Structure formats: structure tokens, C-alpha cells
Amino acid sequence: MIFRETEHKLYHELASTYDLYYSRIFNYQEFYDKIAPILEENGVKSILEVACGTGRLMEILEEHSYIVTGLDLSQDMLNIARKRVKGDLIQQDMRRINLENRYDAIVSLGSSFTYIQSDEDVEDTLRGFYTHLNADGVLIFDCFDKDRLSTASHGKWDAESQSFDDLTITRKSMSSGWNQDDGTWLVDWEWTIQNNDDTKTVFEQQKLKAHTFKYLEKKLREVGFTDIEKQDTRRLLIKAVRTD
Ligand SMILES: C[S@@+](CC[C@H](N)C(=O)[O-])C[C@H]1O[C@@H](n2cnc3c(N)ncnc32)[C@H](O)[C@@H]1O
């Protein structure tokens, strides 16, 4: 099995750049605020955070006394998370999760599900989520919403810079038009990291994918999930329960 399509530079050689830059793009406190009522309603104590990245949400969950295990494909991302969180960190592919423990909740935010693209991968990933939940365990994950994709900035370069002490990170990005049939699109990124006299530039093209709620609901039902709900957010945020 080749993992090449998910071995992204952004999560390997640029892991520390991701950590800084996305701390300004994503509002992790808002992520927490969205899921906190669901965790409370379901009496959750233990959480598996899938694609936990550099551990920024995991850190907030731990501050609220949840026992959290983080899982990510990238050891480079986990190495940064290690400095931030107490819980176990496991390097695994979410399409083939294989752990001894079961959890009260599985959480995966930040649109990491965009990398789960074929029917087979969607089925394997959701089955893995199901089998690693306790009875009445709750799954919460987000992804790009195929019903709400915008074509506004396609085909044009966008540039944005963020400054951090002695470091400036510039992200130039351009999206291809998205394929309306399968919900995929290509994004070209050019990252420039400037540190005093030193400048490094890294290019990467990634293939992203959006899903519809209807499609994911069907796939969730097929592996046994019930109480499947779409939460009201900009991204497609889905809650589902393992009831058996
Ligand atoms: C956009 S980042 C989100 C990280 C974190 N959840 C956050 O919100 O900052 C996507 C993450 O998914 C991870 N990832 C991509 N494909 C994966 C896979 N097949 N299995 C596990 N993690 C994966 C990447 O290594 C990266 O950490």
C-alpha cells in the first residue's frame, strides 16, 4: 500500500509552520465550544482525537479534564503535540485504525476528513471509528461541505502573511475549479518562511475532497451508526452515535 497521497509536506517538513500559521486560521477554542455540549450530553470521559495534528485542540480538551489519546499519520506533527499534551500519541493512518482501547468519543476536526477520498477509504475509516467506540459512544467530525462549495477564488493566486516574533510566513495558494461530480479539487501552495536573513520556499500541490451530508449519512448508517445529525456550522460538522 502506498501512502504517498497523504504524506504531505505541510504536515512533515512544514509541521512547525503549520502549527504557527494555522493557530491563526483555526480558532481551536471555537472548535471546543462547538463540541463541548455534545461531549457533556453524552457523558464522555475518554476521547480519541483522530488527525490531532500538533495537539492544539487536544490541549484544550485536556484542560477540561478529558482523557485524550491523539492519533495522526504524521510523526512530525505528533512530535510538536508531544510538547503540548499529556495523553498518548499514536502514529497511525485513520483508514486503518488498530488500537486495543475503546473510547467514549472520537473527535476529528480541522477538515482532516478531506484526505479520505475513495468510497473504500470512507468505509474503512468510518468502520474503524465505529469499532473503536464504546457502546453509546459518540463520533464528531467535520469536512468540507460539497453542497456549499464556492468557486469564487478558483484559478487566482491568493497571498496572505502572518508574522510571529522574528518569523514571517507567507502562504500563496491557488485552487483549481472543483470537479462537481466527485467533489475534489487541487490546491497549489507556495509557502515562504522568512527568518532574519534566511528565506525558505516550499511548493506543494494537494488534492482535497468535499462530501455531502447525504453521502456520509448513508456510509455512517451502513457501518452501524445511528442518531446521525448535521450540526449547524460553516463546515459540515457531523455527530453520530454507536448504539448497540
Ligand atoms: C488540516 S490538518 C488538521 C490537524 C488538526 N486536527 C488541527 O485542526 O489543527 C490535517 C491532519 O490530518 C493528518 N492526516 C492526513 N491524512 C491522515 C490519515 N490518513 N490518517 C491520520 N491522519 C491523517 C495530517 O497529518 C494532519 O495532521
51 Cα: distance to centroid of ligand 1 (angstroms): 4
Closest C-alpha to 102, from 59, 135, 70, 67: 135
Atom of ligand 1 nearest to the CA of 31: 8
6 alpha carbon – ligand 1 mean position (Å): 9
Instruction: Report the distance separating Cα 24 and Cα 43, nearest Å.
Output: 31
pLDDT on residue 153: 58
* Confidence category of residue 92, pLDDT binned at 50, 70, 90: very high
pLDDT category of residue 235 using cuts at 50, 70 and 90? confident
Residue 197 CA, ligand 1 centroid: distance in Å: 31
Angle between helices 56-63 and 28-41 (to 10 degrees): 50
CATH number for the region 4-144+212-241 comes to 3.40.50.150
pLDDT tens for 73-91 read: 999 999 999 999 999 999 9
Pocket of ligand 1 (CB under 6 A): 6, 11, 22, 26, 51-53, 56-57, 72-74, 77, 93-95, 109-112, 115
Give the pLDDT score at 167.
94
Q: Choose the residue to mutate in 50, 73, 189 for probing ligand 1, maximizing ligand atoms within 8 Å of C-beta.
A: 73
Topology at the third CATH level for domain 148-208: S-adenosyl-L-methionine-dependent methyltransferases (2.20.130)
pLDDT tens per residue across span 93-133: 999 999 999 999 999 999 999 999 999 999 999 999 999 99
Mean pLDDT over each residue of the chain, to the nearest integer? 93
Calculate the alpha carbon distances from 46 to 76, 127, 166, 231 in Å: 24, 19, 39, 22
Give me the residue spans of the domains in the chain: 4-144+212-241, 148-208
pLDDT of residue 154: 72
Q: Tell me the pLDDT tens digit for each residue of 164-207.
A: 998 999 999 998 888 888 999 999 999 999 998 899 999 999 99
Distance 99 CA to ligand 1 centre (A): 18
Atom 26 of ligand 1, nearest CA residue: 53
Which distant-in-sequence residues (6+ apart) come within 8 Å of 127 by Cβ?
Answer: 223
> For 123-138, how does the pLDDT look when each residue is reduced to its tens digit (9 = 90+)?
999 999 999 999 999 9
97 alpha-carbon distance from chain centroid = 15
Cα–Cα distance, 157 to 162 (Å, whole number): 17
How is residue 140 written as a grid cell?
Answer: 464528531
Report residue 41's pLDDT band, with 50, 70 and 90 as the boundaries: very high
H helix or E strand, kind and range, residue 105? strand 103-108
Place of cell 480541522: 110
